[in-house]
Amino acid sequence: MSRYSIDDFVNETKQKDRGEGVFELETPRMLEINLNGQIWAKAGAMVSYRGSIKFEREGIFEHGLGKMFKKALTGEGTSLMKATGNGKLYVADQGKKISILNLQGESIYVNGNDLLAFEPSINWDIKLMKRVAGMLAGGLFNVRLEGRGMAAITSHYEPLTLLVTPDNPVYTDPNATVAWSGTLAPEFVTDISLKTFLGRGSGESIQMKFSGNGFVVVQPFEEIYYSQQS
């Protein structure tokens, strides 16, 4: 059989069962969900599925009035879909790299644009960073996950995790910040000299400062967020 044949291609790229559980990384940028019940995923993330699976957009009142108002403020970036049934579901987000987290009672904050999927056993809430909303286009929001279960987050290219200690705070670019531990509460600081030095837009002068004990995940890419009005 000659190299680069169709058979070679199929054998190299075909789906493989790894027996890893509900969430499996089929490739670094494709998540396989072995569905037996229900899962939450980012709206529009479905690439393919097999089996009997029903998809529904998140109901307006499904999670209570408080979250509905927060969703109205944060725009479409937080839209979720509910997948219910039995089968294999494949989800992805613009070719971004996927990381799986198995929460064991911990909590983590994830940038709303970087949350791909999570099990219904995980409690979640939308947090809008009001103090920075007027500084960045469209503001900045994140989702707090807590409990037990699997979650999948995405990043442009390989993520880097930086440890935060009381004597060594970490500063990040908000547009490059993917997630941080639930033990941390970032504050926003501005640096006029940095803005002048870089010669870029107003967003470049804003930094997130993480203090305490925990970690923060960054990516080598700056995502630009737009409001619904833009």
What is the pairing mode between strands 115-118 and 122-128? unpaired
> Would you kindly state where each structural domain of the chain is located, as residue ranges?
19-218
The confidence score (pLDDT) of residue 130 equals 58
pLDDT band for 203, please (50, 70, 90 cuts): very low
The confidence score (pLDDT) of residue 60 equals 53
More confident: 72 or 6:
6
**Which residue from 92, 102, 142, 98 is spatially nearest to 122, judged by alpha carbons?**
102
The confidence score (pLDDT) of residue 211 equals 96
Q: What percent of the chain has pLDDT over 70?
A: 77
The pTM score is: 0.83
The confidence score (pLDDT) of residue 194 equals 61
Find the mean pLDDT for residues 197-219. Answer: 78
The confidence score (pLDDT) of residue 8 equals 87
For the stretch 113-127, pLDDT in tens is 899 999 999 999 887
Whether residue 26 has pLDDT greater than 90 = yes
Find the mean pLDDT for residues 27-55. Answer: 96
CA 155 to chain centre: 7
Superfamily of domain 19-218: Mitochondrial biogenesis AIM24 (3.60.160.10)
DSSP-derived secondary structure letter, 58: P
Task: Give the C-alpha distances (Å, rounded to integers) separating 33 from 22, 153, 157, 167, 189.
Answer: 5, 14, 22, 41, 39
Distance CA 186, CA 191 (A): 16
Whether residue 143 has pLDDT greater than 60 = yes
Task: Give the C-alpha distances (Å, rounded to integers) separating 18 from 21, 103, 109, 188.
Answer: 8, 21, 29, 42
The confidence score (pLDDT) of residue 145 equals 95
Contact in structure between 153 and 188 (CB atoms under 8 Å) = no
Whether residue 227 has pLDDT greater than 80 = no
Q: Please provide the average confidence, as pLDDT, over all residues in the chain.
A: 83
Q: What is the number of other CB atoms lying within 10 angstroms of the CB of residue 95?
A: 10
Tokens describing residue 125: 């809430």
